[in-house]
Amino acid sequence: MNVLGISAHFHDATAALMVDDAIVASVAEERISRQKHDASLPLNAASACLAFGGLSAQDLDAVVFYEAPHEKFTRVLASTMAGFPRTLGRFVSGMKGWLGEKLFVRNALSKALDVHPNRVAFSSHHASHATHAFVMSGFDEAAVLVVDAVGEWTTTSIGRARRGEPVELLETHEYPDSLGLFYAAFTGFLGFAPNSEECSTMALASFGQPTRVAEVRQVLRLAEDGTFSLARDAFDLLADGKATYTPSFVRRFGEPANAATVERYGTLDALAPAVTVISPELTPWVDLAASVQSVLEEALLGLCRRAARLVPTRRLCLAGGVALNCVAVSRLAREGPFETMFVPPDPGDGGAAVGAALAHALREGRTVTIPKSPFLGLTPRYEDVHAMLEHLDPAHLSRVNNAGSVTCHRFTDDDRGLGFAADRLAMGKIVAWVDSRAETGPRALGHRSLLAHPGRLDTVRRLGRAVKRRAAFRPYALSLNATRATGVLHEGRAAGTLPWMQRTAPVHDGLRPQLRGGVHVDGTTRPQIVSREAQPRFAALLDAFEATTGVPALLNTSLNERGQPLVDSAVDALTMFARTDLDVLMLDTLALERTR
């Protein structure tokens, strides 16, 4: 069965292709459109997936949308009308979008892709999430917990999954009780972009103490039985599902962070010594972040226990946007009632496009499969860069500082290319690493990565300042070979079951100085544990780097400029090389090196 799964209209719109019952590609629209979190119907991604699979739309048995738009519409309508008559403006601007393609998805997809409307099907939002997580886990049976902002009405669901059957959702929490909206509202209150910069809230939390838990639990009430509810007066439930806070929230927590506070966050440093004195102005903010994080974790633990009571099994699959909170995931792995836990590398709405296709095929009685690794994106067209290099001048490729020259190295032997990269990394250079099919999900996993020597703090600081342009309180991650996991990490064996940066793990004390650049202020890292089977070339690079330096891991962060999605094509990579202070770009058999 050939199925195209589609997610859109909230954030991270994605198209996923199943050919003969096997998922073969999954591409987020943002990677092609170059607009971060692009939510528009992913037509560019859909054509890229079809081209990859060598199919035309006529070969598709179904196009499956990842949620039920009419049900979602009733939620948007109810939440807007509840605010009558203050919501006139919101109603008018919101409905303009809905009366277009958002409500008439069947029509829009059938027209844009040129398939018969009867071939467009729907899967519920949480069933899409749940199916993606379970099928990718490879488990025979499991409990499934989906936690996100909101789908149609459902914000949280617990389900039971068995191999070869559609996932059965047993119970749900409904809008507006939502852990995703809860965390997003505090993210906005702390001065970050809600539904986008939740990772900043999580990073900030590591600097604080959870001293404000009691206050936070007044707006997110947790019951003994694992259920929860939001204080209705504290959250402003916008029609488009983006919760912000109300005046009542401000009465409880004070004025929201202003520009000066956000600037002050800049004084926090993930690379600082473990015992850091936080200034009195910042203490309430970092403590609030720590408290919000802690209450979220308690809520998730409660849900896990509830799931364990409902579904007596030792395995849990966790999905939904909240599953991107890697600190919470590691707490669940450590303290939760399940023996084994699986979180897909793309647990958000991107993965839900994959899940929609899988869920449809399962309903049709098919036996579905999905690759174990997350490299389902597009292959760069290296030839575009090879062709134009002859016609470009160093000035075109050094736009930041207009200094230095660019040297082009071409390798006929891949080992020499790897040796070159390892050598430059050892010298403290910042290396952009582009290799074959892109990773799905928000994390760079060695196919579109920025790499650096984690022990060279000068390099790490330059990376933050001149390439990523990001706040110093946000930590970087480490990539290490599976054979090094227990040597580098506490809980290395457990971390190995979630190898794609889905969780955090403490780094052994003795190794912290040489890995400091990839370790957060609390001594943990978000590890990628590289399997030689899945990524032989990246594993060989790690080997070469260790052979040169004795350091068993590389600092690995996403290859993107601030505010931009992950680099996808070869031209994107060259663009980033030209626009930032990157030292080396490794692209196929080619290395571009900037010398100053």
Partner 1 sequence: METHAYHLSHVVAIGARPRLANGVRGGYPRGVYVALRRWAIRVVMPVMWRLWPRRRAHALAEFAATEADSGWQFKQAIERTPDPALKALLFCNLLEEMEHSERFQRLADGMGQGRVGVAPARRTSLATDTSSLRAFIAYVHAGELDISHEFDAYGRAAGVPAISGTFEALREDEEGHQSGLWSALRKLTRSDSEARSLVRRARWRRLYRSWLSVSKQLGDAMLALWLGLAYLLMGPLAVWSSRARMRSGHAAEQP
Positions 259 through 288 that interact with partner 1 (CB under 8 A) = 259
Q: Given phi > 0 = left and psi -120 to 50 = alpha, else beta, which region is 58?
A: alpha
Q: Is 421 in the site for partner 1 (CB under 8 A)?
A: no
Cis peptide before 85 (omega within 30 of 0): yes
Tell me whether strands 340-342 and 315-319 are parallel, antiparallel or unpaired: parallel
Output 159 or 210, the one with its CB closest to partner 1. 159
The 482-521 site mask, x for binding Fe ion (CB under 5 A), equals ----------------------------------------
Q: How many whole angstroms separate alpha carbon 70 and alpha carbon 319? A: 23
Q: Is 349 in the site for Fe ion (CB under 5 A)?
A: yes
User: Which of 564, 573, 561, 567 is CA-nearest to residue 388?
Assistant: 573
Provide the minimum distance between the beta carbon of 437 and Fe ion in the complex, in angstroms, as a whole number.
Answer: 24
Task: Single out the residue of 387, 469, 533, 550 in contact with partner 1 (rule: CB under 8 A).
Answer: 387
Q: How many whole angstroms separate alpha carbon 282 and alpha carbon 365? A: 56
Task: Single out the residue of 284, 394, 428, 496 in contact with partner 1 (rule: CB under 8 A).
Answer: 394
With contacts defined by CB under 8 A, how many residues of the chain interact with partner 1? 72
148's contact among partner 1, Fe ion, none, with CB below 5 to 8 A by partner kind, is Fe ion
Distances (CA, A) of 105 to 95, 185, 364, 558: 15, 29, 22, 33
Task: Single out the residue of 1, 22, 40, 466 in contact with partner 1 (rule: CB under 8 A).
Answer: 40
Going through 457-587 in order, the beta strands assigned E by DSSP cover: 477-481, 505-506, 524-525, 528-530, 553-558, 584-587
Q: Is 67 in the site for Fe ion (CB under 5 A)?
A: no
Output 257 or 358, the one with its CB closest to partner 1. 257
Task: Single out the residue of 21, 101, 148, 588 in contact with Fe ion (rule: CB under 5 A).
Answer: 148
Strand partners, 481: 530
Task: Single out the residue of 292, 328, 406, 498 in contact with partner 1 (rule: CB under 8 A).
Answer: 406
Strand partners, 75: none
Tokens found for residue 523? 């001594």
Provide the minimum distance between the beta carbon of 393 and partner 1 in the complex, in angstroms, as a whole number.
Answer: 4
Output 98 or 476, the one with its CB closest to partner 1. 98
Provide the minimum distance between the beta carbon of 466 and partner 1 in the complex, in angstroms, as a whole number.
Answer: 15
Task: Single out the residue of 179, 578, 582, 586 in contact with partner 1 (rule: CB under 8 A).
Answer: 578
Q: Is 227 in the site for partner 1 (CB under 8 A)?
A: yes
392's contact among Fe ion, partner 1, none, with CB below 5 to 8 A by partner kind, is partner 1
| Site stretch for Fe ion (CB under 5 A), options 349-357, 455-463, 519-527, 563-571 | 349-357
Provide the minimum distance between the beta carbon of 272 and partner 1 in the complex, in angstroms, as a whole number.
Answer: 27
With DSSP H G I counted as helix, E B as strand and the rest as coil, what are the percentages for the chain, rounded to 5?
40, 20, 40
- Cα 446–449–451 angle (5° rounding)? 100
Tokens found for residue 345? 């590398």
| Site stretch for partner 1 (CB under 8 A), options 53-61, 179-187, 392-400, 551-559 | 392-400
Provide the minimum distance between the beta carbon of 321 and Fe ion in the complex, in angstroms, as a whole number.
Answer: 6
Residues 171 and 327 sit within 8 Å (Cβ to Cβ): no
Provide the minimum distance between the beta carbon of 352 and Fe ion in the complex, in angstroms, as a whole number.
Answer: 6
Residues 438 and 495 sit within 8 Å (Cβ to Cβ): no
Output 404 or 496, the one with its CB closest to partner 1. 404
Distances (CA, A) of 456 to 451, 526, 586: 12, 19, 20
Q: Is 99 in the site for partner 1 (CB under 8 A)?
A: yes
Residues 582 and 467 sit within 8 Å (Cβ to Cβ): yes
CA dihedral 75, 200, 505, 352 (to 10 degrees): 30
Strand partners, 506: 524
Output 108 or 489, the one with its CB closest to partner 1. 108
Going through 29-184 in order, the beta strands assigned E by DSSP cover: 62-65, 120-122, 141-147, 154-162, 168-174
Angle between helices 43-53 and 105-113 (to 10 degrees): 50
The 456-495 site mask, x for binding partner 1 (CB under 8 A), equals ----------------------------------------
257's contact among partner 1, Fe ion, none, with CB below 5 to 8 A by partner kind, is none
Task: Single out the residue of 59, 140, 171, 281 in contact with partner 1 (rule: CB under 8 A).
Answer: 171
Provide the minimum distance between the beta carbon of 153 and Fe ion in the complex, in angstroms, as a whole number.
Answer: 13
Tokens found for residue 389? 């290099």
Output 256 or 523, the one with its CB closest to partner 1. 256
The 187-216 site mask, x for binding partner 1 (CB under 8 A), equals ------x-----------------------
Interaction site with Fe ion (CB under 5 A): 148, 349
